[in-house]
Chain A
Amino acid sequence: MLKDTRRHRRLSFVGTIFIELLSSGIEENQPSEVALCKTIDISPTGLLVWVNRELTVGAILQIGVEPSSGDNTLYLTGEVRRCQRDNNTQRWKVGFKLLNASDSDIDTWQELVAQLSRQST
């Protein structure tokens, strides 16, 4: 069982996100690999998602989130903090810490989560 060490309140949120598991290289024969994943819950600084393969803890990956269908995609940068196999589903629960990165949509993300948080209370 993953221990909840988040500083912020988690919100249950099942949405579709895309994670760049392998980025394209600079040579032609090095395509990228983007995986479709489902979120379990979210917070202003993190995400818990289902992934179909094991990820390396510490890896910093690009994440694309579409808050709801038709919305502009938010692009975030996340560091894999935890990755644990779920024996029932044969998938991995992966915890991302979202980086406060320039050129990402972290500010919009945090506003969105705050808004969702207010709505849920």
Chain B
Amino acid sequence: MVVFTRHDRLEVVLLKLTAAQFPLPRSLHALVLDLYAPDIQAGAAQTMSQDEVLRYLKSIDSFELSPLQAIRTQAEAMGDPAVLGGEQAAILEWLNTAYNHWEQRFPIEEPLASELRKLLPLGAALAITDPDFLTPGAHSFHRLLDALQASVVGWQSRLGRAGQSMAQQLEATISTARTWFDGNSDALPTACEELIITAQKNKSRAQRMAKRVVEAEQGRLKTAQAKTHAAQMINQLLEKYQAPPDVGEFLKGPWYESGQLIVLRFGAQSKEWAGMSATSEALLDSLQSEPRAAPDQTDKGSGSRRQQLFEAITKLPREIRRCLISLQHHEHEIDNAIGVIESAHMAVLRQQDLNLHSIEPIQLSSTTTAEEDPLVLECIAALAVGQWFLLSRKNSEPLRLQLVLKMASEQQLLFTNHAGMKAAQESYAYFAASLKAGTSTPLPSEVSFSGSLALAAKISSEEDLESLNSTAPLQARQAHRAAIAEQRESDRDTHEREREDQARLHREFDEALAAKREQEARAARQREKEQEPVHEQQRQRDAADQKQKEQDLRHQSELEETARLMREYEVAEQQRDRAEELTGLDEGFLGAPQPEAKADPAPDLTPTVAHSVKANNGPLIMGAWLGFHDGEKPLMAKLAAHDKENDNYIFVNREGIKMRQLSKSELRGLMDRGLVEVLEAHSNFKDEDTRARNNHRV
């Protein structure tokens, strides 16, 4: 089979289950225990209570470790002899396997991926306390991670301010969700709901932006096609007929422009376009020199031709005037153009030399249409508009891009980024080759976490699901589990007996050893009495050695403790830095989402924009581009000025035309509702001005 379909199959092969099959119809509890339950150790130490496990999970601060490892590490550090119960350990192992798969198969860019790991202890706590967790897709935690992954699949830190709201929302969601540990049972559904609303809002916003990009591109395509169509018609005629230079100029000028407009307005199949094509040919035909008749001949054919010419010459100016829509409202220029034609016709009628020339065809920009390789077309056909991809290019960071348009006529693909802005345009052939080479890879985003949970329990296809649903395999598994339990019980009895035997032997050995030591001690005391002075010196030396050893040990221990504290400090510092980085993002535009600001019912916006309006942790300066999403259509506008007198923010387009004027409170309101985002936080006018000034001096 064709290799190009590989990228599409990856998803199918890896997870044949679709979103429609989630939540799964049955709990995976039995299956998880079968797959992950470790053999229960006979005579194992006491099992941790659920409260203890939850305490350990809550206090995890090293999120790189799996929850199981983190609990064991903490228990060891505290000298807690209790161990996790077999069922709990199995569930946590299953969860960790699923989470690792999810991270690898559905990668999210840093720092979001690390931030998300903070949810893993919460997932572990829910997994061992809530039976619903064992049914993939049924629990709000599953839906939360599914929604999170889908909403940040295209997120990249390079998006700057445009991507910061998502990062902030994620941080808030994680923070809210983790309050579950403090007894807030509504934490997870609330966090899930909030995130889904925000994600939907962001998605709609990006879709509106992307729609504009697509419409602009489609408009460009249509214009280019109209241009080509009009040029081809004129060029074909110029190849067939010669024409006077000024008529050639007319045909390649206003006539060509009018042709483009007619194709755009009425279409290439319209009667208007057919009429223009016919007029074009009639015009050129009318300019062909009439063969001069011999004086002694009355050529009937020549007379007929002359008759045709008269008719054409009478009719053509009217037709040309009707078609010249590029000069609409420019009567003077239309008259000039018609004058050129009429002048040429007069020359034809007078049988004067028209100075006919072969006119150079209209030059079209070289649009190299790629050969339609069936393999490439098959590959591109398998791609879905809306699908996300990771594009790796030499000497640049990988890009996460969404396919928004397939341009079949140009064999081009158009991609936008997470903010819905145009980010790349690639040819069919290039993109198909990059998929084949693995430099472009699809980024799936459907039921990612729920699917990973199912996969970690070896449910990856419809067949597996059917097997899970049927009772026979379940009974077989239960029988298998019962056999294992019986075997373990039997092992435990045997082990108990062995332990009792060993204990008896130990007791006998200890008694014999004690008797022997007593006997040796008596002999030693006798020898000491005989060698008292020598013994005293030796005892003092031993005591000094012992003291030195104790000092060395204490010193060593202090060094180790210092090293441990330094490591902990470094980790804490790194975490603090990371937290500060994330918190720093909150110092955003108008200081919008800061909790402190919310606490203040009337936040003070200082009078100058430089101080009150901030983006990217710095002031939002004149020239910054903002995206407004409060109207029917999204609007991009540049901040032209903050009018100190009227305290208004004035937004303009590229030409400086005023698009919006908002008071401080209006702008604040839009910001609070997430209806305004900063697309470009800096202006380059000062740079341009300096460059122009330097060039001027040179």
Interface flags, A77-111, vs B, CB<8A=1, else 0? 10010000000000000000001111110000000
A-facing residues in B666-698 (Cβ within 8 Å) = 679-680, 683-686, 688-690, 692-693, 696
CB within 8 A of A18: which of B641, B679, B693?
A: B693
Interface contacts beyond A23-B656, A101-B643: sample of 11 additional A-B pairs, CB < 8 Å, sorted by A: A20-B688, A21-B655, A23-B683, A24-B654, A26-B680, A27-B422, A73-B693, A102-B609, A103-B608, A103-B642, A104-B622
Binding site for A on B (CB under 8 A): 421-422, 607-610, 619, 621-623, 625, 636, 638, 640-645, 650, 652, 654-658, 679-680, 683-686, 688-690, 692-693, 696
CB within 8 A of B657: which of A34, A56, A73, A102?
A: A56
Contact between chains at B654 and A30 (CB < 8 Å) = yes
Contact between chains at A34 and B692 (CB < 8 Å) = yes
Whether A62 sits at the interface, judged by CB under 8 Å, is yes
* Assembled-state Cα–Cα distance A56/B652 (Å): 13
What 5 A-B pairs have minimum CB-CB distances, sorted nearest first?
A59-B656, A64-B689, A101-B641, A102-B609, A102-B642
Interface size class of A (residues with CB under 8 A): 20 to 34
Given the known interface contacts A34-B689, A60-B650, A77-B640, the answer about A24 and B655 at a Cβ–Cβ threshold of 8 Å is no
* Assembled-state Cα–Cα distance A102/B607 (Å): 8
Q: What residues on B are CB-neighbors of A25 within 8 Å? A: 625, 654
Interface flags, A40-78, vs B, CB<8A=1, else 0? 000000000000000010111110101000000101010
* Assembled-state Cα–Cα distance A59/B610 (Å): 23
CB within 8 A of B654: which of A22, A73, A104?
A: A22
* Assembled-state Cα–Cα distance A25/B641 (Å): 17
Interface pairs (14), CB distance under 8 Å = A20-B688, A20-B689, A21-B656, A22-B655, A23-B683, A24-B654, A26-B636, A34-B692, A56-B656, A59-B657, A64-B689, A80-B656, A103-B619, A104-B641
Contact between chains at A59 and B621 (CB < 8 Å) = no
Q: What residues on B are CB-neighbors of A56 within 8 Å? A: 655-657
Contact between chains at B655 and A77 (CB < 8 Å) = no
* Assembled-state Cα–Cα distance A24/B636 (Å): 13
Contact between chains at A103 and B680 (CB < 8 Å) = no
* Assembled-state Cα–Cα distance A61/B610 (Å): 19
**Residue ID in chain A nearest B636 by CB atoms:** A26
Q: What residues on B are CB-neighbors of A60 within 8 Å? A: 640-641, 650, 652, 656, 658
Contact between chains at B636 and A64 (CB < 8 Å) = no
CB within 8 A of B693: which of A23, A64, A99, A101?
A: A64
**Residue ID in chain B nearest A64 by CB atoms:** B689
Whether A36 sits at the interface, judged by CB under 8 Å, is yes
Given the known interface contacts A27-B422, A102-B608, A103-B621, the answer about A58 and B658 at a Cβ–Cβ threshold of 8 Å is yes
Q: What residues on B are CB-neighbors of A36 within 8 Å? A: 692, 696
Q: What residues on A are CB-neighbors of B658 within 8 Å? A: 58, 60
Contact between chains at A20 and B622 (CB < 8 Å) = no
Contact between chains at A59 and B655 (CB < 8 Å) = yes
Contact between chains at A73 and B689 (CB < 8 Å) = yes
Q: What residues on A are CB-neighbors of B689 within 8 Å? A: 18, 20, 34, 64, 73, 75
Contact between chains at A99 and B643 (CB < 8 Å) = yes
CB within 8 A of B686: which of A64, A66, A102?
A: A64
CB distance from B393 to the nearest CB of A (A): 15
Contact between chains at B644 and A100 (CB < 8 Å) = yes
Q: What residues on B are CB-neighbors of A62 within 8 Å? A: 622-623, 640, 683, 685
* Assembled-state Cα–Cα distance A24/B653 (Å): 10
Q: What residues on A are CB-neighbors of B622 within 8 Å? A: 62, 77, 101, 103-104
* Assembled-state Cα–Cα distance A30/B577 (Å): 37
* Assembled-state Cα–Cα distance A1/B409 (Å): 55
* Assembled-state Cα–Cα distance A20/B685 (Å): 7
Q: What residues on A are CB-neighbors of B657 within 8 Å? A: 56, 58-59
CB distance from B655 to the nearest CB of A (A): 6
Q: What residues on A are CB-neighbors of B650 within 8 Å? A: 60, 99
Contact between chains at B652 and A59 (CB < 8 Å) = yes
Contact between chains at A34 and B656 (CB < 8 Å) = no
**Residue ID in chain A nearest B650 by CB atoms:** A60
Whether A32 sits at the interface, judged by CB under 8 Å, is yes
Q: What residues on A are CB-neighbors of B685 within 8 Å? A: 20, 23, 32, 34, 62, 64, 75
Given the known interface contacts A22-B654, A60-B641, the answer about A103 and B688 at a Cβ–Cβ threshold of 8 Å is no
